[in-house]
Amino acid sequence: MSVADDEHDPYPKEEGEWFCQYAMRIDEVRMLYNVISSHIDMFPGPPHRPIEELEYCKYIQNRLFAMMTDFSFTNIESHVKEDQEEVDES
């Protein structure tokens, strides 16, 4: 799965800069999407939280949505294949 768009990443990773990667199952991606969405809905804004935090949360929400969409698209069950298998068995 690849939804990275390094050319348009508003938070580019500079060479030599520390960063981490974490692998998640789709159910974890969905849960994290819900957490981020809830945080955005209840975001208190300045002066309690910096506006950059909201912008970053929206960026992460967008990336998580792209992951869920990619998963759904690449895991579509084809009814045509099932119909063909039934014909082959006959």
User: Distance of alpha carbon 68 from its chain centroid, rounded?
Assistant: 5
5 assigned to some structural domain: no
Beta-carbon neighbour count of residue 8 at 10 Å?
Answer: 6
41 assigned to some structural domain: yes
Report helix, strand or coil for 22.
coil
17-66 residue pLDDT tens: 888 889 999 999 999 999 999 999 999 999 999 999 999 999 999 999 99
45 assigned to some structural domain: yes
pTM of the model: 0.73
Q: For the chain, how many structural domains are there in total?
A: 1
49 assigned to some structural domain: yes
Please give the biggest Cα pair distance in the chain.
69
Q: How far is CA 35 from CA 17, 20, 30, 60, 72, in A?
A: 27, 20, 9, 11, 20
- The span from the CA of 82 to the CA of 87, in Å, is 9
84 assigned to some structural domain: no
Look up the domain containing 27 and give its range: 22-74
